[in-house]
Structure 1
């Protein structure tokens, strides 16, 4: 099979060359609406002209399932060929295109792996879509708490021995679910984790949303497929040149029923999939096949230039890297920046960068994460450097030799909200409906310790729940939520966007009273 072909995209272009007349959905008719005149022109902004400027070309690719465009849910032609080419490129036996993002992949592999009442051994810091997968499946999770990367203090995958202990305690588990890399670009070799799961004859499922580029350059960490994982989800749109919501699900081996997986994909994905998104996945894969390592050359060089500038200037601004000596590997395209003196919080750095036209991927109390894409240019880096130099001056960031050494240590208390004796949780159930055994009341955050949360609060990004519905609120959780409140962090699921109050289950009143 010719790896440089783009079967799906090329077929759409050939179709346009035939100037087809559309008597089918979608309503824009291959973008022909732009050639029509409104029946009753209205003075003012020319909506048609504005619409045409931005959408005409993409709409010409926006078709539906026709006899020559194949069907994502029963691929036999160009989509089947495009998916097979992707499987060969990413080292999988089968690859499925996802038009609803990695969320669709996470939901599908959990629905295929487990059913009502089944157990999944899962790291605690997973994306919210994973919890929805448990809800849809009716399954339960045994949470294994993440390990802290020693240099940054950020959460990563659990310790291998902790996972092994969880597998020993719960031999009836149907799968192991991990998320790697983390949002800060720290990854580990997942080979021993795959081996641990396989020793118990269960699959390793991996949410590798942020690692679609892994394995395609020596500077990148190994990807989960190379490490032996059974099912892997990647958000191609995050680090490869694909449209937003474009993702892929890769499968190898026989530990997961692929028939069930296909049924799950058909259930959670739109029955009217976006052809522009699928075509962008086809093009992104073809670019990786065509250019290989050189596709990422400019982005890697840009990140290197920025790192070198930071290390060479006198202020306390610093780049924080995962500790390679501890078995971690840092994604070189993700640069984690912070004020080492602790003077300027990460959220403030984010706002200062945005005010200067540089928009980071995310921020927390201490850090901002800068994602250098494959196509970041020297001009982009120069603009970022100018912005950082301006921030140093305007925010009065001290010189490096004036910073207190203790402020450079990882601030573990900012990321941990559990104790060492909670490394492996009891089975936890997730439901879409509130518990019926208790009524809900609103309490002031600082009075919430000891209650069970009646809401799931998710700082976004990165979309990892801080507290689950039904989880007991600890002093550490209260402190963490208070910190997020003071920094005006965006959270999903919170009834009070300011986080000054929280809904809890009223332990003194039953629903039947």
Structure 2
């Protein structure tokens, strides 16, 4: 296998095709880019004030590798040749028993996993509350009933991580007929914790653990990175290989291990949700991303981690800007007394405080540098605008935080440019910092108290999980709904999805009972200027509810 790991069988097959010079009598219609090359000798291909209609040489070269299922290129939906070999190499690299290439991003993997475990109408599945919309769409396609699990909220940052082991155990006991458990780890901010206790709880109940690990394709590949979901015992794991590794956009993988997932049914579901004409350049980029990691191992991340370290050292000299970090880091080798009790109960030390394994936020992706203005002068949105004005484009921001995404492709020059930008921003706002310098703790506390995150989208903290909520593709009839003033909605069932955007995580689902806490949260977010999708009333003065 070590020798084979140096090969990229799918990519090499495309190179062979490109070099063969064979005539194309098959799709795609651009005929290896020939349609554009034929224009090079024609006049009037460029109009005044317009760019040339002929693509660049680099783009034309790529089109020569844009092929379809012909002799030698294999078939994604029935692989027997180079795609099969490429997927087997991926499984070896990432520690799976079987891996599948995805050309529709992690969305395709989430849909396929849910359609596999929900193998009968109204199947119950236990799902983390704040999940990507692709999970919600999977529930709708499956006609499933979701029991939503409230995630742990880190008290220091105010951000949701994942459900605690206690929450998962309680839900599993309440719904032993559930088809599986789905969680997201890490979250968008790179925050996470040990997944092993949750995997143990699921397996003791005979349920598969499904993990949306879209932002953790690199996990477990270097000692400084958190453990991968597979190594913690997850049964099905979706990774966006394009996000944190080196594949083309839309390139992702689905990794499987253990006996709890019906792999024959999974292949059928993948064929349903993926194109029958997959992009070969995207699949070849997955093959190359795997080869780079397979051959170089942990050294793949040396340059990127050096850039991160340089940035963090420089940031320490700019005390105004703070870095999000777990208060208590996850122990690599926890002592025996720190192991969770049977059923995943929290372990405590001699003083009764939770151990590192039991805490809800113990691991941070070093490549996700989440910063904020400790002065409280600039919001996350404001800081992002300032950074972009200095040529630094962040991944995302919210009311408080800015996410700066480093990767294996980041350089020391990137870190230096970012630090220079932050230094300029700090100096440009020095006249606003007098009050902060005099009362730093008071000002920071006030800012934290007013922080409202559209990422969290949580319910009343008094309960750990919801009742089953039925999802369906069937729209709710207008005659079965009514519009009610938002302050009078508590106790009714919602007839619409209320989705603060960004990041697009629903706060309220159609058919879900509306709590007073949800009403208050919608009003607070609306007052703060948050934008919403799904609401019939854009002003959010009323909500559509289902008539009893």
TM-score where L is the length of structure 1: 0.91
Deviations 1:301-347 (A, max 9, x none): 212222222222242x2111123253611100001111123222111
Instruction: Give the C-alpha shift of residue 494 in structure 1.
Output: 4.8
* Residue-pair matches, total: 506
Match of 1:338 among 358, 372, 391: 372
The Cα of 1:493 is off from its aligned counterpart by: 3.8
Asked if 1:162 is matched to 2:167, the reply is yes
Give the corresponding residue for 2:433.
Answer: 398
Equivalent-residue separation in structure 2 for 1:347 and 1:486 (angstroms): 16
User: Which residue number corresponds to residue 107 of structure 2?
Assistant: 103
Deviations 1:176-231 (A, max 9, x none): 11111111111111111111001111111111000000000111110011011111
Name 2:61's counterpart in structure 1. 57
**Structure 1 residue 456: Cα displacement:** 2.4
Q: Deviations over 1:435-470 (max 9, x none)?
A: 237555667767766664443243455442222223
1:402-444 alpha-carbon deviations (Å, 9 max, x no partner): 3532554555764464223221110011123332375556677
Name which of structure 1's ranges 428-437 and 143-152 shifts more when overlaid on structure 2. 428-437
Q: CA deviation at 1:503?
A: 6.6
Q: What is the aligned counterpart of 2:21 among 16, 19, 39?
A: 19
1:74 matches 2:109: no
2: distance between equivalents of 1:376 and 1:209?
19
Aligned partner (choices 418, 430, 453) of residue 459 of structure 2 = 418
Q: Compared with structure 1, are the counterparts of its residues 202 and 461 closer, same or farther at alpha carbon in structure 2 (3 Å cutoff)?
A: same
In structure 2, distance between residues paired with 1:452 and 1:247: 36
User: What aligned pairs does 1:219-230 form with structure 2 within 5 A after superposition?
Assistant: 219-230=224-235
Alpha carbons of structure 1 residues 178 and 366: separation in structure 2 relative to 1, 3 Å: same
Q: Taking structure 1 as reference, are residues 81 and 334 closer, same or farther at Cα in structure 2, changes over 3 Å only?
A: same
Residues in 1 aligned to 2:542 and 2:57: alpha-carbon distance in whole angstroms: 46
Question: Out of 235, 260, 284, which is 1:255 matched to?
Answer: 260
Equivalent position of 1:298 in the other structure: 303
Aligned-partner SS, 1:369: strand
**Residue 46 to residue 204, structure 1, CA distance change in 2 (3 Å):** same
RMSD of aligned alpha carbons: 2.5
CA distance in 2, matches of 1:474, 1:189: 31
Find the counterpart in structure 2 of residue 308 from structure 1: 313
Residues 170 and 222 of structure 1: is their aligned pair in 2 closer, same or farther, counting only changes over 3 Å?
same
Q: Which residue of 2 is the match for residue 353 of structure 1?
A: 387
Per the TM alignment, residue 9 of structure 1 is displaced from its structure 2 partner at its CA by 0.3
Q: Distance in 1 between matches of 2:407 and 2:113?
A: 28
Residue 443 of structure 1 contacts residue 501 of structure 1 at CA under 8 Å; is this kept in 2? no
Distance in structure 1 (CA, Å) of the matches to 2:371 and 2:395: 11
Where 2:125 maps in the other structure, the secondary structure is: strand
> 3-state DSSP class of the match of 1:205?
strand
TM-score of the pair, normalised by structure 2 = 0.86
User: Tell me, which stretches of 5 or more residues in structure 2 are unaligned?
Assistant: 330-355
The answer (yes or no) to whether the contact 1:105–1:249 under 8 Å persists in 2 is yes
Which of 321, 325, 344 in structure 2 is aligned with 1:321? Answer: 325
Residues 1:372 and 1:188: Cα distance change in structure 2 (over 3 Å): same
CA distance in 2, matches of 1:454, 1:345: 34
Task: Give the 3-state SS of the residue equivalent to 1:421 in structure 2.
Answer: coil
Summarize the Cα distance change of 1:51–1:372 in structure 2 as closer, same or farther, 3 Å threshold.
same
Question: Residue 471 of structure 2 corresponds to which residue in structure 1?
Answer: 430
Structure 1: which 5+ runs fail to align?
none
Output the CA distance in 2 between the equivalents of 1:355 and 1:95: 42
**Separation of aligned partners in 2, 1:185 and 1:118:** 31
- Equivalent residue for 1:387? 421
Distance in 2, Cα, partners of 1:188 & 1:74: 37
- SS state of the match for residue 420, structure 1? coil
**Structure 1 residue 369: Cα displacement:** 0.7
Structure 1 residues 77 and 94: alpha-carbon distance in aligned structure 2, compared to 1, 3 A threshold: same
| Partner Cα separation in structure 2 for residue 377 and residue 491 of structure 1 | 37
Instruction: Give the structure 2 partner of residue 197 of structure 1.
Output: 202
Change beyond 3 A, Cα 1:291–1:457: farther
Checking the alignment, whether the CA contact within 8 Å between 2:17 and 2:65 is kept in structure 1 is no
On the 8 A contact 1:495/1:502 being kept in 2, the answer is no
Q: In 1, Cα distance between the equivalents of 2:149 and 2:469?
A: 12
Give the whole-Å Cα distance in 1 for the aligned partners of 2:301 and 2:533: 34
How far off its partner does 1:491 sit? 5.0
CA, structure 1 residues 354+432, in 2 after alignment: closer, same or farther (shift >3 Å)?
farther
How far 1:23 sits from its partner (Å)? Answer: 1.4
Q: Which residue of 1 aligns with 2:337?
A: none
